[in-house]
């Protein structure tokens, strides 16, 4: 028995949709992100409760069991995941969402209740679209997870004729989707076609992501997130659920916008990111470094550079996140400011492995928002900086983005740390960054390298600054 009338259901769904819109607005700024996230979660809870009270649900025990299992898996995972692994978690969640939408739509369309005619054709088209794109999102997200987790190589994976195999698989998937629509519109059983479509789409998703290099994987995650949003919207039509239509459309639109913004921050086009690996490379090999000399220093040397500077710009990267050194870098910044040294943080749009990664990390250490400067704002400041302190970043400061045509990051706007009087790199080793190319800035005479774990190195620098 329905406890809510259709009018009440529609009204509450409208409230939930408004919550999702407010949540997206809140997530657009670090200061309001937490509140926005809570509002979005509240909207989702309301939507789930309305589904229980407004519909005649069968198999309620199984539904409750599934929710319980999902909660038992999700809550500990979300609490224990390190900030460095957050992009991988986002990729997995996104993939599960796409796979779930595809599964639900496929099962719904195997039901003969849709009948035949124009309405059945539209429902079949929405369902086939959901199965195709949702399955692509699922398998593609699994590959992005494997790349970010370094369970497989982060370099582009290509093979002779790979672009043709991908093209043929995509054509086959579209042909199967059209066949499923035709059969469904005529009242036939399209369960087998949808099953084959799902298998072919799994291959399409894998082939879609394999050629993408590690530095571009976060952009692909955002694109796949947009795909998942579109599948949720389409499944909302199949299930006659307005809220799914609204929520899916919001995710699809915001994911598309974010993908374009990230690509612009990388100075790349979407097509070059997705299919650039199939083009012949014109990049001149940078070499492995070999016995080329670098100027390394001790924590005491770095402390002297910093302690007697007038202006220091800190450029955090993924290495800082791995070492969980955000609190130590804040302590160092406080010490320098106590010596009347101006300290700024330069944040690249894709620092770390996802947008906002560094902002969230530094917020954990209570770094004030006003000292976090975006790339366009901070780049002119390097010319007046005595020291640029690069902590665990590489690709976002690599001059190859400006000087080496054909490099994976060529054209990407970078933090212009080479304009500073002195550059200090905190690195574990001379290993290249996530893009897999050498950074010539490491060999410049004005560059000093401090090798080791970022947190341990910064702790020693802090101790040395205190003794100045």
Q: What is the pLDDT of residues 361-370, one digit of tens each?
A: 888 788 888 8
**Rounded to the nearest 5°, which phi and psi values hold at 233?**
-65, -45
CA distance 407 to 116: 54
Query: What's this model's pTM, rounded to 2 decimal places?
Result: 0.75
* Whole-number Cα distances in Å, 423 to 8, 42, 126, 173, 369: 62, 46, 55, 52, 24
Strands (E), 76-175: none
* Separation of alpha carbons 182 and 116, rounded Å: 10
Helix H segments across 149-216?
Answer: 162-185, 191-209
Residue whose C-alpha is closest to residue 234's, from 320, 127, 144 = 127
Dihedrals phi, psi of 388, to nearest 5 degrees = -105, 115
For residue 401, the model assigns a pLDDT of 84
Residue 57: how many CB atoms within 10 A of its CB?
11
In this prediction, residue 282 carries a pLDDT of: 43
Express each pLDDT in 420-430 by its tens digit. 999 999 988 88
Matching residue, tokens 């976090």: 372
Strand partners, 405: none
Q: Which domains, ranges and CATH numbers included, belong to the chain?
A: 1-80 (no CATH), 84-278 (no CATH), 299-466 (3.40.50.1220)
Contact 242, 236 (CB under 8 A): yes
Digitized pLDDT (tens) for each residue of the chain, 468 residues in all:
566 778 888 899 999 999 999 998 888 776 788 899 999 999 999 988 888 777 666 777 888 898 899 899 888 988 888 777 778 888 888 899 999 999 988 887 776 545 556 666 787 888 889 999 999 999 999 999 998 887 888 778 888 888 899 999 999 999 999 988 887 767 666 778 888 999 999 999 999 999 887 667 888 888 999 999 999 999 888 888 888 899 999 999 988 988 888 777 666 677 777 776 666 544 444 444 556 788 889 999 999 999 999 999 999 988 888 788 899 999 999 999 999 999 999 998 777 666 677 887 888 788 888 888 888 899 999 999 999 999 988 888 988 888 888 777 777 888 999 999 999 999 888 877 666 678 888 999 999 999 998 899 999 999 999 988
Q: In the block, which residue shows the tokens 């999700």?
A: 74
To 5 degrees, how large is the angle CA 350–CA 352–CA 357?
85
Burial zone of 440 (CB within 10 Å; 0-12 exposed, 13-18 middle, 19+ buried):
middle
Residues 205 and 223 sit within 8 Å (Cβ to Cβ) = no
The predicted pLDDT at position 278 comes to: 65
Sequence-distant (6+) residues with CB within 8 A of 26 are 32, 33, 35, 36, 37, 39, 40
| Residue positions annotated with a catalytic role | 395
């Amino acid at each position: 028995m329905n406890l809510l009338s259709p009018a009440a259901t529609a009204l509450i769904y409208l409230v939930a949709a408004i919550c999702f819109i407010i949540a997206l607005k809140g997530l657009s700024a670090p200061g309001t992100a937490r509140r926005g996230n809570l509002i979005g979660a509240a909207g989702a809870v309301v939507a789930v409760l309305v589904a229980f009270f407004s519909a005649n649900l069968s198999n309620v025990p199984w539904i409750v069991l599934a929710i319980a299992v999902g909660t038992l898996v999700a809550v500990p995972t979300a609490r224990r995941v390190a900030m460095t692994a957050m992009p991988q978690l986002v990729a997995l969640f996104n993939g599960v969402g796409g796979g779930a939408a595809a599964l639900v739509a496929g099962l719904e369309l195997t039901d003969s209740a849709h009948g035949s005619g124009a309405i059945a054709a539209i429902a079949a088209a929405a369902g086939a679209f959901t199965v195709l794109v949702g399955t692509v999102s699922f398998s593609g997200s699994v590959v992005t997870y494997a790349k970010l987790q370094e369970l497989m190589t982060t370099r582009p994976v290509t093979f002779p004729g790979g672009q043709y195999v991908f093209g043929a698989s995509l054509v086959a998937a579209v042909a199967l989707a059209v066949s499923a629509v035709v059969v469904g519109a005529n009242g036939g059983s399209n369960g087998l076609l949808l099953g084959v479509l799902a298998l072919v789409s799994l291959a399409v998703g894998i082939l879609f992501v394999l050629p993408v290099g590690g530095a571009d994987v976060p952009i692909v995650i955002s694109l796949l997130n947009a795909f998942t949003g579109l599948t949720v919207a389409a499944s909302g039509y199949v299930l006659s659920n307005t809220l799914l239509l609204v929520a899916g459309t919001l995710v699809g639109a915001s994911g598309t916008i974010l993908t374009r913004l990230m690509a612009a921050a990388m100075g790349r086009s979407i097509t070059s990111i997705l299919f650039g690996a199939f083009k012949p490379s014109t990049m001149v090999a940078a070499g492995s470094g070999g016995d080329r000399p670098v100027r390394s220093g001790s924590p005491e040397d770095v402390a002297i550079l910093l302690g007697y500077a007038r202006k220091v710009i800190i450029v955090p990267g993924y290495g800082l996140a791995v070492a969980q050194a955000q609190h130590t870098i804040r302590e160092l910044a406080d010490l320098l400011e106590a010596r009347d040294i101006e300290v700024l943080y330069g944040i690249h749009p894709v620092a770390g492995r996802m947008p906002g990664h560094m902002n969230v990390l530094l917020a954990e250490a209570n770094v004030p928002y006003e000292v976090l400067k975006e790339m366009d704002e901070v780049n002119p400041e390097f010319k007046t900086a005595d020291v640029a302190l690069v902590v665990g970043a590489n690709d976002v400061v690599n001059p190859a983005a400006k000087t080496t045509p054909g490099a994976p990051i060529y054209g990407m706007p970078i933090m212009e740390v080479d304009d500073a009087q002195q550059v200090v790199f905190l690195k574990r080793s001379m290993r290249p960054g996530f893009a897999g190319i050498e950074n010539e800035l490491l060999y410049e005479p004005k560059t000093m390298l401090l090798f080791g774990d970022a947190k341990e190195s910064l702790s020693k620098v802090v101790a040395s600054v205190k003794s100045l």
